[in-house]
Structure 1
Amino acid sequence: MRFESTLHARKTNKNTYKIFITAEYSGVEVKLAPNFEMGVSNKTPQYLNMNPIGKAQIEQWIDFSTLEIDANINAWYRPRNGQAPYHLPVEEAKISALKRALGALNTHLASNTYLVGQSVTLADIIMTCNLHRGFTRLMTKGFTSEFPHVERYFWALVHEPKFQTIIGDVKQTEAVLPLQAPQMPY
């Protein structure tokens, strides 16, 4: 089975090359949007409606997952795991930033099963793996219940056979990982 997708980008861009090479390996047919002009086409209301931060959708979600979800989960996790000094104001700021990111993700997932398109993409794989530590070590049901679409998304994907083959059964933490790093005065 061959899938088809439309890419809004320039043909000679290094990121476009990444997408086309990946598509070749994945059996996905990618077509370029006709008459796409960087700096013009990607500023139109129609384009920004599809891509609010003006990037290719899969790349947008990979960046979001890495910079907004994974970075904040790790900044919360590392001091609690004894890998970094603990500062309560830093932890509070990271949790607040994570909640903001989860809120944005929740809004997107309210009307989407996957991050991009109608099936699992690399963006979904990366997002789910980045959420894994949060769900299993930090984010209790009380924390995640504020983001029901993120919960649905995460649990649906970790129960997919291809995910389970690699990560096995996943259980949500019942308590935030206890503090293992020394507290630093502020």
Structure 2
Amino acid sequence: MALVLHASSTNKNAFKALIAAEYSGVKVELTKDFEMGVSNKTPEFLKMNPIGKVPVLETSDGPIFESNAIARYVARLKPDNPLYGSSLIEYGHIEQWMDFSATEIDINIARWLYPRLGYGLYLPPAEEAGIAALKRALEALNTHLASNTYLVGHGVTLADIVMTCNLSIGFKAIMTKSLTSQFPHVERYFWTMVNQPNFKKILGDIKQAESIPPLASKKPAQTKEPAKPKPKEEPKKEVKKEEVKPKEVAEEEEAPKPKSKNPLDLLPPSKMILDEWKRLYSNTKTNFREVAIKGFWDMYDPEGYSLWFCNYKYMMKTQSHLLL
């Protein structure tokens, strides 16, 4: 059975496995006419990945989901594949940069881009924090690439494939020249990678974003139909009401029951004034983590408040939120 990759033809996470397949001499077929939101909701697809995320690789031994896992599997199909380096330490460094790409590059591009496209709640402080974190990651990557052509060793590895695919959506959608020019070694690295034949065959020609996408506009309000003129009402005839005689014996009203006290009102007042931290949170425009988050922990009173982490079911990506 040929390997079948279920994803759209524009999915950058699917590109990881397809590029790895080109370097490994492995045949992977991309499903045709895949429609996100439809194809991944069918019973057949949900058997392969119960949460309906893409991509999914269909193999003779069963399905595999999560894009990095799929890319690893494809690379492993070729014995002694140079995509995994030539030594144990190179293998460790490849895994290191793959994780770095996911947790520092990909996630922060998403935090910046997707709310602007309408796939999540847009909050200026969250955007600023995402941009700051992305710049910090790009600076670290830039420092490493100042003395390295590739992430690991002297040739393309799986780390380069994953990193380039994750960077590609940023370069195409939101990372303009004014941003990337601050990291010249990252720029050189990215354009070198995407112009390699095996990369270009899958990614095609890439054009860098010229501007940051504007915020997604809200749905236009529905126009109300003009009100129809009301028909003239005929004057109502007066109807004499019969006088209701008061009851000889009035029903006694129940006396109001005393309200029970809230047990929380019996607790001593907390040292933490929540409004002070809210003002700090709202007014912090830069260095959000160093100012607002640090301020929270400085003010936090564990005897007066408790912290809860909740996972929201209906979000684009499950995120943990801090509740008081």
Question: Of 78, 83, 87, which aligns to 1:25?
Answer: 78
Q: Are the counterparts in 2 of residues 106 and 149 from structure 1 also a CA contact under 8 Å?
A: yes
What is aligned with 2:141?
105
Task: Normalising by structure 1, report the TM-score.
Answer: 0.71
Distance in 2, matches of 1:95 and 1:117, equals 30
Q: Does 1:164 align with 2:200?
A: yes
What is aligned with 1:179?
215
What is aligned with 1:69?
105
When residues 31 and 132 of structure 1 are mapped into structure 2, their CA distance, relative to the original with a 3 A threshold, is closer
Unaligned ranges ≥5, structure 2: 1-71, 219-281, 283-324
What is aligned with 2:132?
96
Amino acid at match of 1:161: P
Q: Are the counterparts in 2 of residues 80 and 181 from structure 1 also a CA contact under 8 Å?
A: no
Q: Which has the higher contact order (CA 8 A, sep 6+)?
A: 1
> 1:21-53 CA distances to partner (integer Å, 9 max, x unpaired)?
9566153477766xxxxxxxxxxxxxxxx89xx
When residues 174 and 22 of structure 1 are mapped into structure 2, their CA distance, relative to the original with a 3 A threshold, is closer
Overall identity of the aligned pairs, in %: 55
Residue aligned with 2:151, SS: coil
Which runs of structure 2 are paired with 1:55-66 in the superposition (5 Å)? 56-66=92-102
Distance in 1, matches of 2:123 and 2:217, equals 10
Distance in 1, matches of 2:130 and 2:95, equals 23
When residues 115 and 181 of structure 1 are mapped into structure 2, their CA distance, relative to the original with a 3 A threshold, is farther
Distance in 1, matches of 2:199 and 2:176, equals 21
Shift of 1:161: 1.0
Q: Count how many residue pairs are aligned between Structure 1 and Structure 2.
A: 147
Question: Of 91, 97, 116, which aligns to 2:152?
Answer: 116
Q: Are the counterparts in 2 of residues 85 and 181 from structure 1 also a CA contact under 8 Å?
A: no
Question: Of 118, 131, 135, which aligns to 2:171?
Answer: 135
The structure with the largest helix share of the pair is 1
Task: Normalising by structure 2, report the TM-score.
Answer: 0.42
Q: Does 1:144 align with 2:197?
A: no
Q: Are the counterparts in 2 of residues 79 and 85 from structure 1 also a CA contact under 8 Å?
A: yes
Q: Which piece of structure 1 moves more, 61-70 or 159-168?
A: 159-168
Distance in 2, matches of 1:155 and 1:181, equals 33
Amino acid at match of 2:127: E
Distance in 1, matches of 2:142 and 2:187, equals 9
Distance in 1, matches of 2:77 and 2:121, equals 45
Q: Are the counterparts in 2 of residues 79 and 181 from structure 1 also a CA contact under 8 Å?
A: no
Distance in 2, matches of 1:78 and 1:105, equals 23
Residue aligned with 1:77, SS: helix
Amino acid at match of 2:164: T
Q: Are the counterparts in 2 of residues 86 and 181 from structure 1 also a CA contact under 8 Å?
A: no
Distance in 2, matches of 1:82 and 1:140, equals 20
Q: Which piece of structure 1 moves more, 145-154 or 22-31?
A: 22-31
Distance in 2, matches of 1:84 and 1:77, equals 10
Q: Which segments of structure 1 move beyond 2 Å, counting only runs of 4 or more?
A: 21-24, 26-33
> 1:121-142 CA distances to partner (integer Å, 9 max, x unpaired)?
0100000000011111111100
Q: What's the C-alpha RMSD, in Å, of the aligned pairs?
A: 2.6
